[in-house]
């Protein structure tokens, strides 16, 4: 937002004055590798199913949609049973307009004035904004140097801050780091007896696991959704945007104990999921295998790209790559002017992301041709920035 676009006479909330809208750059360039999308569009069969279901829904658009989206919730249950071997009921799932709305509903229900939420830095940059918008105080515990979760430090922060929410991410964004189940279970067990500041005795924090990128994990790695029946304090956020190639449809969902779902139903807007959104999502689930058909290839692309990046050098040092179980890689480690590398990449028609700790950048996996262009552009950009830096010395 450019300076001066909001008139000083408008009564914007004091805590929002000077704030910028969240959002990765949306630029018209040939290769966009900055927002972790699936680069492969839905198949013709999926498109035809969407057309059919939306056409059927259109006949009743004078009526409000099913606000409990019961058919779609059954589709969530069926999908999680197949994809993650999670045994759930429709009372234990809930949908919304992207996982962003799921997360906002969680903060609306369990955050608020006087409440703390805890995350583990570095992590998704929207979490502080959900907290800000719900008047929740956002806090972080540090991750280890390799970006894995420091369970002891996290538990110490839980005891010190007494949060109402502990927000974990697996795979983590922007690092791609997975959360091992034993680590998650330690935190879940601890939170079953932890206090919540300002709450009555017997009230304990919930643990939110954001699994937006979980489908890209290596085969055999379990999902936190399999623990929902064991832990009443667990909520697992998922999305159709990433692996499912449905970013434009804006469909997210959550798996949790019925009590948590009922709390979200209190704060959700009336008829928050349109009939068109529900129809499109159901069409996607009609073709689950086709929608996920490129996940294995993108996983292989991630591994090949990581190996290639480690062979590159910048300023005389090997490029570092954070181990990832997602469809993106955080790389660099010692880019002393990552903004200049970003600009040079953009000149070459490639958009990646300046995000994460200083010295690092992030790239999501594209098509084979897009990754070829990325590799060429990155080598050229690093050399240009190195040469420019040497000339200044």
| CB-neighbour burial class of residue 377 (10 A; exposed 0-12, middle 13-18, buried 19+) | buried
Going from the first residue of the chain to its last (393 residues), give the mean pLDDT of each consecutive group of 10, the final group possibly shorter.
70 89 80 95 94 97 96 98 97 97 98 97 96 97 97 98 98 97 98 96 97 96 97 98 95 97 96 97 94 94 98 96 98 96 97 96 98 98 93 81
pLDDT value of residue 268: 95
- Check residue 59 and give its pLDDT: 96
SS3 96: strand
H/E element, 135? none
183-210 pLDDT, tens digit per residue, is 999 999 999 999 999 999 999 999 999 9
CA distance 176 to 64: 39
Whose tokens are 């200044």? That residue is 392
| Amino acid 6: pLDDT | 84
Sequence ranges of the domains in the chain: 14-32+294-392, 44-291
Q: Report how far residue 135's alpha carbon sits from residue 113's, in angstroms, rounded to the nearest whole number.
A: 5
3-state secondary structure of 58: helix
In angstroms, the CA 237 to CA 245 distance is 17
pLDDT the model gives residue 20 = 84
Residue 332's region, left for phi above 0, alpha for psi from -120 to 50, else beta, is left
* Within this chain, domains 14-32+294-392 and 44-291 share the same CATH topology: no
Q: What is the per-residue pLDDT for 235?
A: 98
What confidence score (pLDDT) does residue 4 get? Answer: 52
CATH code that applies to domain 14-32+294-392: 3.90.1150.10
- Summarised one tens digit per residue, pLDDT across range 268-316 is 999 999 999 999 999 999 999 998 999 999 999 999 999 999 999 999 9
**What pLDDT is recorded for position 238?**
98
- Looking at domain 44-291, which of 3.30.530.20, 3.40.640.10, 3.40.50.2300, 1.10.1510.10 is its CATH number? 3.40.640.10
> Residue 88 and residue 334: Cα distance in Å, rounded?
45
């Amino acid at each position: 937002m450019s300076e001066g676009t909001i008139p000083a006479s408008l009564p914007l909330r004091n805590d929002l004055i000077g704030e910028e809208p969240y959002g990765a750059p949306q630029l018209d360039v040939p290769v966009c590798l900055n927002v972790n999308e699936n680069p492969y569009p839905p198949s013709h069969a999926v498109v035809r199913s969407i057309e059919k279901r939306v056409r059927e829904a259109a006949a009743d658009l004078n009526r409000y949609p099913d606000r409990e989206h019961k058919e779609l919730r059954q589709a969530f249950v069926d999908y999680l049973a197949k994809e993650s071997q999670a045994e759930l009921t429709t009372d234990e799932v809930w949908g919304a307009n992207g996982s962003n709305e799921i997360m906002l509903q969680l903060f609306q229900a369990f955050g608020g004035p006087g409440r703390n939420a805890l995350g583990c830095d570095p992590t998704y940059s929207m979490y502080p904004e959900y907290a800000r918008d719900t008047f929740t105080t956002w806090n972080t515990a540090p991750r280890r140097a390799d970006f894995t979760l420091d369970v002891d430090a996290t538990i110490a922060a839980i005891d010190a801050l007494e949060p109402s929410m502990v927000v974990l991410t697996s795979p983590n964004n922007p690092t791609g780091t997975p959360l091992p189940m034993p680590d998650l279970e330690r935190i879940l067990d601890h939170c079953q007896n932890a206090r919540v500041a300002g709450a009555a005795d017997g009230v304990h924090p919930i643990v939110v696991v954001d699994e937006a990128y979980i489908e890209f994990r290596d085969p055999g790695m379990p999902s936190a959704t399999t623990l929902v029946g064991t832990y009443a304090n667990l909520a697992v956020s998922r999305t159709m945007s990433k692996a499912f190639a449905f970013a434009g449809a804006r469909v997210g969902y959550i798996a949790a104990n019925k009590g948590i779902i009922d709390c979200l139903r209190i704060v959700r807007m009336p008829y928050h999921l349109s009939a068109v959104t529900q129809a499109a999502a159901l069409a996607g689930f009609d073709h689950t295998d086709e929608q996920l058909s490129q996940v294995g290839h993108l996983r292989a692309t991630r591994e090949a790209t990581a190996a290639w990046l480690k062979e590159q050098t910048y300023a005389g040092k090997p490029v570092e790559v954070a181990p990832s179980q997602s469809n993106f890689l955080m790389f660099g480690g010692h880019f002393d002017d990552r903004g200049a590398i970003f600009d040079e990449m953009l000149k070459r028609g490639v958009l990646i992301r300046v995000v994460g700790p200083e010295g690092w950048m992030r790239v999501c996996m594209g098509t084979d041709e897009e990754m070829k262009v990325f590799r060429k552009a990155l080598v050229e950009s690093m050399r240009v920035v190195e040469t420019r830096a040497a000339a200044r010395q």
